[in-house]
Structure 1
Amino acid sequence: MSRPGPAGGPGLRPGNDEAGPGTAAVTGLRPLGLVRRWPRSFADRLTAPLPGVRAMARLAREGALRPAAAGLKDIPQLPFAPGALPEAEPGTVAVTWAGHASWVVAIGELTVLTDPVWSRRILGTPARLTPVGVRWEDLPAVDAVVISHNHYDHLDAPTIARLPRRTPMFVPAGLGGWFRRRRFTRVTELDWWETAELPAGSGVGSVRFEFVPAHHWSKRTLTDTCRSLWGGWILTDQRGRQVYFSGDTGYGHWFKEIGRRHPDIDLAMLPIGAYAPRWWLSSVHTDPEEAVQAFEDLGACNMAPMHWATFVLSSEPVMEPLSRLLTAWEHTGRPREQLWDLPVGGSRVLTA
C-alpha cells in the first residue's frame, strides 16, 4: 500500500463536485451540503496494509480478543462521574466526555457531538462497561455532528436516528450517502485538509470544521472496506481557539503535520485504549505512550484521553490504559493540569 501524501500530492485525490466551482475555490471553504463524487476506494490512504488471512488465523489461535478474567476485575473502578453540562456562555469552549469517542463540545455558541454512541451495546462487543455520561434528554439542541469513520463504535445507527434530520452532519469523504439514505438533509463530506464553516448560534462569527488525516481504515459491511475515508476533526471558533478530535488512529507522521498546520491547538482529544495485542492493533490504535507522543508531536496545550473505559474491544486490562498514561505523562515533565483525564460524564472548560 502507498503511504498517504500531503495535500495535493500522492495519496490525496479530491472528490468532484456535482456543482461547478464557486466561491469555495477562492476562500478555501467547501460549501455546506454539496453532493460530491468520490473515488471507489480510499485504500491508497492506508498507512499500513490491512491484516491478511494469516494474521486473522493467528488472532483466532491466540484468542486475544478480550482481557483475561484478571483484567476485568477492576471494572468497578472505571471512572464514572456524570455531572451537569457546563454553562455555554458566549465565547465558552467546554467539553464533556460521554464515553468512548463521544464528546459534547460547546464551541462558538454551538453544541457539537463527536462520534455519538448512546447505545448500550454495539455490534460484536459486550454491553458498555460504564453508562453513557450524559443522558440524551439532558443534551441541549445539537447544532452539528462530526463523524471520524464508519466503524460501529463510532457510527451508531440507533443514536444517529434520534437526531433531527436537519442536523448538520460533517462526515468523511464517501460516507455522505449513508446519511442521505436516512433522510439527513444537511450532510457535508470532506476530504483530508478540507474545511467547511457553520455560522455560530448568534449569527455572529462561525465555527470551522477541518477534516484531517488519521492512521486508520474503514469498513462497515463485507463489501465496503476503505470505500469511505477516515480521519479527525479540528474545530476552530471565531477567536481562533482550536479543539482537535482525532477519532481512531495509530501513531505516525500525521501528528507533526497537523501540528505544523495548526500551531497551538488548545485541546487534543486522543485515544489511549483498544491497543492489545500490539502486533494486531499497532498500526490503527495508539497505546497510551504513543498517545502522549502524538500530543507532543502536535504541540498542543492540553490533552484529553478517550477510547477507553467504555467498550471491551481488545485484550488489555480495563484500567491499564489510564495507569500507563499517567506514567507516560509524568515522564514528560509537563504540568499535571494539562492532562484532562476526565471520568465518563466529566467536563472541563477551556480558559483563555
Structure 2
Amino acid sequence: MPRNPYYAGPLSDHFDGTRFFVPGERPKTNRFSDFLKWRFASRHGPKWPVTFPSPARDKPPARVEGADLRVSFIGHASFLLQTQGLNLLLDPVFSERVSPFRSVGPKRVNPPGIALEDLPEIDAILVTHNHYDHLDLPTLSQLAGCRVLSPLGNETIMRTHDARIRAEAHDWGARISIGNEVFIHFEPCYHWSARGLSDRRMALWAAFVIETPAGKIYHIGDTAYGRGEIFRAMRVKHGPFRLALVPIGAYEPRWFMREHHVDPEEAVRIFQDCGAAYGLAHHWGTFHLTDEAIDEPPKRLAVALERAGVAPGHFQVKRPGEVFKVPLE
C-alpha cells in the first residue's frame, strides 16, 4: 500500500486510509496510457491563438457592503467575490503557466482580469483542489498572510511550499465561519486530485457553498456530471442558490474527459439541478488544456441554454476583467 504524503486521518465513507473517493462512484479509471493515447493522437482539434485578450480590466472597490454581490471574473476558474463587507478569492491563479514546470505546460493567452496589485484586502481564499490550474503555489505565496481554506491534505502541499501560507483544511460536510455571518460549506463533487504521477486522490477535492445572509453561492471548481445526484442533493440540503459558478470548458475528447469535466450541456443540467437563480460560467478561454476551440464553450452553452428554456441573462459568460452584479431575487 503506498504512503499518503499529505494526509493521515481516520477512515470514512470517502477515505480508505490512503486515497479519497466519491461514495457510490467508481474511481476515475483513465490510465496513464489513455493520457498518452490522447496526447499523441494525430488530431487535437482547432489550434488556439497565442493571445486571446479580454477587452476588460477590473479595479474592484475596497468593499461591497450588505446584500450586494459583486463577482469579478479573473480568468479560468479564478474569481473575486465581494459581499457582506468581505472579499473572497476563489481558486486564484495569477501565474503564466499551470504546470509543475516554469517553461513547459499550458500558458495563459490573456492576463488576469484583475492585476495582483489591484486586489483589495482579501479576507479568505478558497481552493477547491490541488490541480495546477486551481492550486497555484506561487500566487498563494504572493498572498501569504491571507487565510486559505481547502479540503483535507492540501494544507500540507501549501505549507511545504511556503510556511507563511495560512492554510487550513477541512472535510466534506464542514461549515466554517469567516465572519459577518458568512459561512463556507465543504461539499463533494465528481472529481479527483494529483500533483504528480503517484499521488492520485491522496488529497481531497471539494465544491464550496458560501452561505450569506442574502443567499447562497455554489462554487464548483472542476467536476464531471456523473448521475447528477450530488447537484440535486445540494438543492435539497441548501435550498435554491442565488448564484452558481459552473465550469463549461476543458471537455474534449469526451471519451477521455467525461469522467473529469462537464461539457456545456451538462453545465446547464447542473444549473437546473441545483436550482440556482443565476449562473456564471468559468474554466474556459485562458489555458489550453483540451481539444475544443477556444470560443466553442460559450457558443455551445448559448445553444444549450436556449434548448433548456433558461431565461436570457440568467446564466452568463464573462471575459476576464468583466463583472457580474448579481440581482437579489
TM-score normalised by the shorter chain: which range applies? 0.7 to 0.9
Counterpart pick for 2:265 among 284, 289, 292: 289
Counterparts of 1:109 and 1:261, CA distance in 2: 26
User: Could you report, residue by residue, the CA deviation over 1:119-139 in whole angstroms, capped at 9, with x for unpaired residues?
Assistant: 122215332111110011111
CA distance in 1 between partners of 2:51 and 2:300 (Å): 17
Indicate how the Cα distance of structure 1 residues 139 and 57 shifts in structure 2: closer, same or farther if over 3 A, else same.
Answer: closer
Q: Which residue of 1 aligns with 2:7?
A: none
- Separation in structure 2 between the aligned mates of residue 162 and residue 75 of structure 1, nearest angstrom: 25
1:219 and 1:301, CA in 2 relative to 1: closer, same or farther beyond 3 A? same
The superposition leaves residues 99-150 of structure 1 with CA deviations (integer Å, 9 ceiling, x where unpaired) of 0000001122111101100012221533211111001111101110000100
- The residue aligned with 1:249 is 223
Distance in 2, Cα, partners of 1:275 & 1:293? 15
Note if contact 1:171-1:189 (Cα within 8 Å) is conserved in structure 2: yes
**Structure 1 unaligned residues grouped into runs of 5+:** 1-8, 14-37, 201-205
Q: Please give the per-residue CA displacement for 1:300-335, whole angstroms capped at 9, x wherever unaligned.
A: 110100000100000101110010000001112221
Instruction: Select which of 299, 305, 325 maps to 2:275.
Output: 299
Distance 1:177 1:343, change over 3 A: same
Q: What is the alpha-carbon distance in structure 2 between the residues aligned to residue 243 and residue 314 of structure 1? A: 28
Deviations 1:71-109 (Å, cap 9, x if unpaired)?
x35965x65422332573321321100000000011221
Letter in structure 2 aligned against 1:210: H
The answer to whether residue 217 in structure 2 is matched with residue 217 in structure 1 is no
1:134 aligns with 2:114: yes
Q: Counterpart in 2 of 1:266?
A: 242
The AA in structure 2 aligned to 1:269 is L
Change (3 A) 1:53 1:84: closer
Kept in 1, the 8 Å contact 2:14–2:20? The answer is: no
Structure 1 residues 136, 47: closer, same or farther in 2, change over 3 A?
A: farther
Number of the residue aligned with 1:170: 149
Deviation by residue 1:32-53 (Cα, 9 ceiling, x = unmatched): xxxxxx9432146565433125
How far has the Cα of 1:57 moved from its partner? 4.3
The equivalent residue for 1:19 is: none
Deviations 1:222-267 (A, max 9, x none): 3321110111111111x14111110111113211111111111011
Mark the CA change 1:62 to 1:113 in structure 2 (over 3 Å): closer, same or farther: same
Task: Map 1:227-238; keep pairs closer than 5 Å.
Answer: 227-237=202-212
Distance apart, 1:193 and its partner CA: 1.9
Partner AA of 1:41 in structure 2: R
Structure 1 residue matching 2:271: 3-state secondary structure:
helix
Map 1:307-326 → 2, pairs under 5 A: 307-326=283-302
Contact 1:191 1:211 in 2 (8 A): yes
TM-score by length of 1: 0.82
RMSD, aligned α-carbons: 2.3
Equivalent position SS for 2:316: coil
Secondary structure at the residue paired with 1:303?
A: strand
TM-score computed with the length of structure 2 as normaliser:
0.87
Partner Cα separation in structure 1 for residue 36 and residue 75 of structure 2 = 31
CA 1:74–1:122 in 2, change beyond 3 Å: closer, same or farther? closer
Tell whether the 8 Å contact from 1:144 to 1:170 is kept in structure 2 after alignment.
Answer: yes
Q: Which residue of 2 aligns with 1:12?
A: 14
Q: How many residues align structurally?
A: 309
How many angstroms apart in 2 are the aligned matches of 1:196 and 1:336?
Answer: 34
Distance 1:58 1:334 in 2: 38
Distance (Å, rounded) in 2 between the aligned partners of 1:227 and 1:63: 33
Greater mean deviation of Cα atoms: 305-314 or 105-114 = 105-114
Name the % identity: 31
- Match 1:49 to one of 6, 9, 28: 28
Q: Structure 1 residues 298 and 44 mapped into 2: Cα distance closer, same or farther (>3 Å)?
A: closer
